[in-house]
Structure formats: C-alpha cells, structure tokens
Amino acid sequence: MADEALFLLLHNEMVSGVYKSAEQGEVVSAAKALEENGRCITKLENMGFRVGQGLIERFTKDTARFKDELDIMKFICKDFWTTVFKKQIDNLRTNHQGIYVLQDNKFRLLTQMSAGKQYLEHASKYLAFTCGLIRGGLSNLGIKSIVTAEVSSMPACKFQVMIQKL
Amino acid sequence: MSRQANRGTESKKMSSELFTLTYGALVTQLCKDYENDEDVNKQLDKMGYNIGVRLIEDFLARSNVGRCHDFRETADVIAKVAFKMYLGITPSITNWSPAGDEFSLILENNPLVDFVELPDNHSSLIYSNLLCGVLRGALEMVQMAVEAKFVQDTLKGDGVTEIRMRFIRRIEDNLPAGEE
C-alpha cells in the first residue's frame, strides 16, 4: 500500500498549516518572531507526542517486557523507526548516564528537501513532530525524557534524548 | 512460529495507523486553534486540496492508469484504484444522477475514524473533510472541476459514510492564475 506518500504530504501540510496560522498574527520584532516560532514547534511537538503515545501502545501489545532502558531505546531505533520511517536508525550512542543520540543519515521527512545549506534553518520545523513522537513513545513506556533534534547537513539528523530521572 | 509471517501485515496495519493517529492529532489541534467547527472544516478542506494537488502526481506515477474517457470511468478509478492504493479500502459507487454527472462513494468503513468519537460540542465538525479536499485537488490537476461533500457519516450515527461527488466542468485552458 502506498500510504507512505499520504503521511508525508499530511505532515507537510501540518507544518505549513501551523506556521500559516501563526503568521496571521503579524509579527513585528525579531524577538516576537522567535517566540512565535517556538510556539509552532511546541504545537507540532505536542501533536507528535499524542501520536507517539498511541502508536507505541498499539505496537508493544504483543512484545515481551523490556529488560532495561537500553532495550527500550533499541526497540525505538529498530522496530518503531522501521514502522514509521521505513528504515532503522543508523547509529545509536549513549553515555550510559541517560543521554542517547540517535542518528539517521537519511531522515525520511528531510529527503524531499534540497540537500544544500539553503533551507537548513527551516529543518527544525520538520523535526519537531518526530521529537514529539519519540517523547510520546518513551513516555508511555514509563520513561520521561526531553528530545531535541539537530541537523548539520541535510538529510542527516540527530535526535538527542535526555532521560529525566524521577 | 507464524510471527515472522505476521510481521508484514502487522507493519502494514501499523503504518496506516500512523496516518490515522496523525490525522487525529491534527484535527484535535485545529479544534483548539479555531473557534468554530466551520472554520475547522474549511481548513481541513484546504489542507486536503494541497495534498490532492501533489498526490495526483504520485498516483499517476504509481498506478499506470491512462486517460479516462468519461466521468463513470473516473469514478471507477477513484474507487477501485486510488482509494485502494492509499487507504486500503474500496468504496462502492452508487446513486448516479440521470445526467451522469453526480455519484456517491459509499465507504463501509472509513480508516480515518478508526479511533474516533465525536464529542457532543462538535456536532457540526466534518471530521474526514480532508478527503473531499484531496479529491477536489487531485481531479483539478487532471482538468476536472468537481465538488465533493459528505452527506452521511458514521461518526454522526449514519450506517455508512457517503461522499457525494458532482462534476462541474472541464477545465479547458490551464494558464496559471494572474498570467495572461
């Protein structure tokens, strides 16, 4: 089934929809614009969070209990990522103190964009939803975290997961 | 034993759930952002239109169908190829108008509403309105102006979901707007 295209297009519309509705409020100063950008990112992140929660619940209903935190992260990198983005995370690193870095060398939501530096500043819009997705998934598995993303060269990107100890 | 075999269908189902859940999150967000349901419906239609305009390209590339000779054939392609390809369902086509310019798509089950219940205060929300926009946008790109709207919806207690399609006209010349 070709529903992948449908998801990609829907995601694009979500991003542009959120940003357009923010623009209507006509921003003047640079500080305001930055604040507005933050609000949009939060919105997208929250949508991702909800979806992540739902997905992980459906997805883990027949899997065995996870051994530990690392086991959960591996699950996110392999099974979860494959379902959502049709490939695995290319590299997972950790400092064993609650920080994980997930590197995807060809992130699906960025592959449609020009690979040069031109749109680098816009990349964060297209990562917010996925940050939420990871955070939501982890949250339903009992791990509270903060997820951020960074891009240095398209379409590769890194997600940093900081586990919040309870 | 059958676990490996199950994976394929399982992951296929999962990825359609990804779409369903994402769409749900989007509608929820729109309901928060806009004050009344009409605005949400309008916004969903607009987003659908933008998707349709791009989706048609993907569709033509993938499906290998040729030019349709009449509206009946178009209806067939929409129901049997397009819906099947993107949503995994095959709606039935009924209620042709005598002039042959209107028909209904009957969706026995609508994957978009798999996990959805409408709260009472959103009675005029057309939850799946995105679909209408997609149909309109996609057909516009193949020179057909149509109108699509929901006339029945299982979310509102109807037995089936019905999208009414009306052919308006053929778009003859497609000069971009504002260029003469």
The verdict on a CB contact (< 8 Å) between A83 and B62 is no
Residue B3 lies in a domain: no
Q: Judge whether B43 is closer than 8 Å to chain A, CB to CB.
A: yes
What is the CB neighbour count within 10 angstroms for residue B168?
12
Number of domains in chain B: 1
Chain A residue numbers touching B85 (CB-CB < 8 A): 1-2
List chain A pLDDT tens, one digit each, 166 residues. Answer: 457 888 899 999 999 988 887 776 665 677 777 888 888 999 999 999 999 999 999 888 888 888 888 999 998 999 889 888 888 999 999 998 889 999 999 998 888 888 878 888 888 889 999 999 999 999 999 999 999 999 988 888 999 999 988 6
* Cα–Cα distance, B17 to B29 (Å, whole number): 18
User: Which A residues 3-22 touch B at CB under 8 Å?
Assistant: 3-7, 9-11, 13-14, 16-18, 21
Q: How far apart are CA B8 and CA B15, in angstroms?
A: 11
Q: Does B19 touch chain A (CB under 8 A)?
A: yes
- In this prediction the ipTM stands at 0.87
Q: What is the DSSP letter of A145?
A: E
Separation of alpha carbons B17 and A61, rounded Å = 14
pLDDT of residue B77: 93
Q: Give the pLDDT score at B3.
A: 41
Q: Which of B16, B26, B54 sits opposite A14 (nearest CB)?
A: B26
Q: Is B141 on the interface with A (CB under 8 A)?
A: no
Other CB atoms within 10 A of residue A44 CB: 27
**Residues 49-78 (A) with a CB less than 8 A from some CB of B:** 50-51, 54-55, 58-59
Put simply, the answer to whether A7 touches B22 (Cβ < 8 Å) is yes
Domain boundaries, chain A: 4-163
Question: Which CATH number goes with the domain that contains B24?
Answer: 3.30.1380.20
Residue B104 pLDDT exceeds 70 = yes
Domain for residue B180, yes or no?
no
Chain B residues touching residue A13 (CB < 8 angstroms): 47, 50-51
What distance in Å separates the CA atoms of residue A99 and residue B17, rounded to the nearest whole number?
29
Q: What is the tens place of the pLDDT at every residue in B34-54? A: 888 999 999 999 999 999 999
Buried b (16+ CB within 10 A) or exposed e, B60-86: eeeeeeeeeeebeebbebbbebbbbbb
Domain, as residue range, for B50:
16-117+125-170
pLDDT surpassing 50 at residue B100: yes
The least confident of A126-130, B10-14, B58-62, B106-110 is: B10-14
Name residues whose C-beta falls within 8 Å of residue A166's C-beta, 6 or more positions apart in sequence. Answer: A144
CB contact under 8 A, B14 and A59: yes
Cα dihedral: A130, A135, A139, A143 (round 10)? 140
pLDDT band at residue B7 under the 50/70/90 scheme: very low
In-domain check, residue B7: no
Nearest to A17 among B23, B28, B47 (CB): B47
- Classify residue B1: in a domain, yes or no: no
In-domain check, residue B147: yes
For the domain A4-163, what is the CATH code?
3.30.1380.20
Residue B1's pLDDT band (boundaries 50, 70, 90)? very low
Contact A136, A48 (CB under 8 A): yes
